[in-house]
């Protein structure tokens, strides 16, 4: 019941936010740089200052392994016990991460990071290109709502919230970086173990340098098991992070849907495909979410009301988007928003007046049915022609039950075979209609429903949004929470996870993750330039774990390994929503990962 209420307030607050949409900018301290940087950029100044007393105890340049579960503050001496050797475990085919730290009392002009070959005792080699180092960058964020109960609502005045510069972007576009005195520079090390790797312990060195001068050396050992994680494209995990192509066009300053636009999106969407994304987010009408993001979703279907009163639809943009995403490897599902947008206003090009017009109408009304039956009939025919009908869903956000039911009636009238998806509350009455059903993290699918859905090949997931304080993926969230979520999904025997914003960037996402609504980072997980983030890498860590659990469960069930199954379920039982915030995610996740790597 609590969730229902918070959902209500969420919508209310989103509604209110619209009144201040125009003219809001959110870039904090001016940096003097050109807007929308793509290659190098200057971070905003850190509102926190170094503690002279703390730094007084540091001698020159220090180097140590840190933890990927920690966002090391830029100006604070890192609270780490010096660690020169890091030992990781991995399945073949898995991506593993490590975080190296450099902190210094004297400026380092051009810090760079080199990696030596990773070799095992028998001389087997992991090729150079499977691992890399990237600099962790700092971005401005804020905090949860003052009551600590979530992060929804309108934030017209950032000064009412704490301003924090936090480690989050992972920048692969810099060869070296300047590290000022009394600051920390984390380096993100990632190794993508090839599936063909010979099991064994691979050792290598991370060399941190200033020009040719060696500042420090860290040892990395990766124990590669004989288990194999499939390629992301073969993962069972149903990942649904909603893409916003319009944000990319704006940030990259390229004409929307031009070749340059597709080129700009290519690495960003490839990165998403490599995380196991299954769903293409498609907007089939103007402003499905009433322009709640910095860059609103424009329709990918051209709606033309002809002067003779008939409707005509053109799918050039839709096709271009879907075909582009499919070539990136995201080709399992197309979710089309929305027949029941947040504002029940439907824009179309009115041929008679040669102008854009809007029709306000709601499910249950004659005009609504006339318009949508025309659209869906045409759409169905187009999708069937393209061979996409079976992977396409008419996608809804939560709406009152009678509205959703009236909408379903219209869909059925146009084509009873249309698949439907919903991200919302659990409703027994319409559950059977949902091919892809994603409920809020706090809710439950009845066990028999979940089992039946699985047997029917339907997708069953959960989502988080601004409503949850924990776990979440705000730029200030504990990084392990991003991994935690997929263990929770596994615990619930769900197919995966949904979040509404892969890249609905605020004005200057590299500098300032805050937005006019919700907490910092709520609207995006990755950065311009196809830069990853600590959150996104930890999300993938969880997805890999979910995939491992799926494989292990299947194996243990097949070979009757009850002990194994029991260990798995016991491990998963530790993922309890109610434990937040007292029990931080990192410990639970670390233990769980250790178990998965022990089989």
- 393 pairs with which residues across the strands? 335, 419
Site mask for its own copies (CB under 8 A), range 519-538, x = bound: --------------------
Q: Is the dihedral of CA 508, 69, 206, 121 positive or negative?
A: negative
User: Which residue, 299 or 475, is less far from its own copies as judged by CB?
Assistant: 299
The angle at the Cα of 79, spanning 74 to 81, to the nearest 5 degrees, equals 130
Q: How far is the CB of 352 from its own copies (least distance, A)?
A: 4
Q: How far is the CB of 337 from its own copies (least distance, A)?
A: 15
Residue 314 as a binder of its own copies (CB under 8 A): the answer is: yes
Residue 484 as a binder of its own copies (CB under 8 A): the answer is: no
- 23 pairs with which residues across the strands? none
Residue 16 as a binder of its own copies (CB under 8 A): the answer is: no
Residue 358 as a binder of its own copies (CB under 8 A): the answer is: no
Q: How far is the CB of 347 from its own copies (least distance, A)?
A: 8
- Contact yes or no for 459/570 (Cβ under 8 A): no
User: Which residue, 157 or 308, is less far from its own copies as judged by CB?
Assistant: 308
User: Judged by CB under 8 A, which of 87, 306, 360, 566 binds its own copies?
Assistant: 306
User: Judged by CB under 8 A, which of 137, 286, 450, 516 binds its own copies?
Assistant: 286
| Beta-strand pair 95-104/61-65 | antiparallel
Stretch that binds its own copies, among 308-316, 449-457, 502-510, 548-556 (CB under 8 A): 308-316
Provide the 3-class DSSP secondary structure of residue 258: coil
Q: How far is the CB of 273 from its own copies (least distance, A)?
A: 23
Residue 295 as a binder of its own copies (CB under 8 A): the answer is: no
Q: How far is CA 503 from the centre of its chain?
A: 8
- Contact yes or no for 248/268 (Cβ under 8 A): yes
Q: What does the alpha-carbon distance between residue 528 and residue 173 come to, in Å, rounded to a whole number? A: 11
Q: How far is the CB of 301 from its own copies (least distance, A)?
A: 9
- Contact yes or no for 270/243 (Cβ under 8 A): no
Q: How far is the CB of 374 from its own copies (least distance, A)?
A: 15
- Contact yes or no for 435/395 (Cβ under 8 A): no
User: Which residue, 34 or 355, is less far from its own copies as judged by CB?
Assistant: 355
One DSSP character per residue, 275-336 reads TTB-EEEEE-SS-TTTT-SSSPPPPSSEEEE-TTS-EEEE-HHHHHHHHHHHHTT--SEEEE
- 97 pairs with which residues across the strands? 190
- Contact yes or no for 422/440 (Cβ under 8 A): no
- Contact yes or no for 237/496 (Cβ under 8 A): yes
Q: What does the alpha-carbon distance between residue 397 and residue 374 come to, in Å, rounded to a whole number? A: 22
User: Judged by CB under 8 A, which of 16, 56, 214, 352 binds its own copies?
Assistant: 352
Tally of CB atoms within 10 A around 310: 10
Residue 353 as a binder of its own copies (CB under 8 A): the answer is: yes
- Contact yes or no for 41/158 (Cβ under 8 A): no
Residue 320 as a binder of its own copies (CB under 8 A): the answer is: yes
Contacts of residue 180, defined as CB under 8 A and 6 or more positions apart, other chains included, come to 107
Residue 343 as a binder of its own copies (CB under 8 A): the answer is: no
Stretch that binds its own copies, among 36-44, 196-204, 250-258, 368-376 (CB under 8 A): 250-258
User: Which residue, 321 or 502, is less far from its own copies as judged by CB?
Assistant: 321
Residue 308 as a binder of its own copies (CB under 8 A): the answer is: yes
Residue 253 as a binder of its own copies (CB under 8 A): the answer is: no
Binding residues for its own copies, rule CB under 8 A, total: 25
Residue 370 as a binder of its own copies (CB under 8 A): the answer is: no
User: Which residue, 357 or 413, is less far from its own copies as judged by CB?
Assistant: 357
User: Judged by CB under 8 A, which of 312, 345, 405, 590 binds its own copies?
Assistant: 312
Q: How far is the CB of 288 from its own copies (least distance, A)?
A: 13
182: closest CA among 80, 84, 100, 73?
73
Q: What does the alpha-carbon distance between residue 155 and residue 13 come to, in Å, rounded to a whole number? A: 10
Q: How far is the CB of 508 from its own copies (least distance, A)?
A: 22
Residue 351 as a binder of its own copies (CB under 8 A): the answer is: yes
User: Judged by CB under 8 A, which of 25, 33, 195, 316 binds its own copies?
Assistant: 316
Contact residues: its own copies, CB under 8 A: 255-258, 286, 298-299, 302, 304, 306-308, 312, 314, 316-317, 320, 347, 349, 351-356
């Amino acid at each position: 019941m609590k969730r229902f209420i918070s959902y209500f307030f969420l919508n209310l607050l989103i509604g209110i936010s619209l009144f201040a949409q125009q003219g809001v900018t959110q870039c904090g301290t001016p940096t003097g740089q050109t807007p929308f940087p793509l290659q190098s950029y200057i971070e905003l100044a850190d509102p926190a200052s170094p503690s002279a007393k703390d730094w007084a105890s540091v001698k020159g340049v220090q180097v140590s392994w840190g933890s990927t579960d920690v966002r090391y503050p830029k100006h604070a001496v890192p609270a780490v016990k010096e660690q020169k050797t890091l030992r990781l475990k991995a399945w073949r085919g898995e991506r593993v991460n490590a975080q190296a730290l450099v902190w210094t009392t004297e400026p380092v002009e051009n810090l760079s990071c080199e990696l030596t070959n990773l070799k095992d005792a028998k001389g087997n080699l992991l090729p150079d290109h499977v691992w890399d180092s990237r600099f962790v960058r700092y971005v401005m964020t804020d905090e949860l709502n003052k009551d600590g109960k979530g992060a929804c609502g309108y934030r017209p005045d950032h000064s009412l919230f704490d301003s924090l510069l936090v480690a989050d972007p992972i920048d692969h576009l810099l060869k070296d970086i300047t590290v000022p005195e009394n600051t920390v520079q984390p380096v993100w090390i990632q190794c993508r173990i090839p599936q063909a790797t010979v099991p064994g312990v691979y050792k290598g060195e991370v060399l941190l340098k200033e020009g040719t001068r060696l500042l420090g050396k860290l040892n990395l050992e990766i124990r590669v098991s004989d288990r194999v994680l499939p390629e992301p494209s073969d993962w069972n995990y149903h990942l649904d992070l909603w893409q916003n192509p319009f944000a990319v066009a704006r940030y990259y300053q390229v004409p929307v849907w031009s070749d340059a636009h597709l080129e700009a999106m290519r690495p960003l969407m490839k990165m998403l495909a490599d995380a196991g994304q299954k769903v293409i987010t498609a907007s089939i009408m103007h402003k499905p979410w009433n322009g709640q993001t910095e860059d609103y979703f424009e329709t990918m279907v051209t709606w033309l009301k002809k002067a003779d009163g008939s409707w005509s639809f053109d799918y050039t943009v839709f096709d271009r988007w879907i075909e582009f995403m499919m070539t990136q490897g995201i080709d399992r599902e197309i979710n089309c928003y929305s027949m029941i947008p947040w504002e029940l206003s439907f824009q179309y090009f009115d041929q008679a007046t040669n102008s854009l017009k809007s029709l306000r109408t709601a499910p249950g009304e004659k005009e609504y049915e006339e318009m949508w039956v025309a659209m869906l009939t045409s759409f169905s025919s187009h999708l069937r022609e393209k061979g996409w009908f079976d992977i396409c869903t008419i996608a809804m956000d939560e709406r009152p039950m009678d509205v959703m039911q009236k909408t379903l009636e219209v869909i059925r009238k146009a084509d009873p075979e249309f698949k439907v998806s919903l991200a919302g509350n659990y409703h027994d009455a319409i559950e059977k209609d949902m091919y892809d059903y994603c409920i809020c993290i706090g809710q439950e699918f009845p066990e028999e429903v979940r089992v039946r859905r699985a047997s029917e090949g339907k997708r069953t997931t959960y989502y988080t949004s601004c409503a949850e304080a924990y776990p979440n993926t705000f730029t200030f969230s504990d990084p392990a929470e991003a991994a935690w979520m997929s263990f929770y999904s596994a615990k619930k025997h769900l197919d995966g996870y949904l979040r509404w914003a892969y890249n609905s960037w605020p004005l200057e996402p590299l500098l300032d993750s805050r937005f006019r609504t919700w907490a910092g980072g709520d609207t995006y997980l990755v950065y311009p330039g196809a830069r990853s983030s600590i959150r996104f890498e930890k999300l993938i860590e969880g997805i890999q774990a979910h995939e491992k659990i799926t494989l292990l469960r299947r194996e243990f069930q097949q070979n009757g390994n009850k002990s194994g199954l029991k260990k798995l379920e016991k491990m998963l039982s530790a993922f309890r929503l109610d434990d937040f915030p007292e029990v931080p995610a990192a410990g639970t996740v670390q233990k769980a990962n250790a178990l998965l790597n022990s089989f």
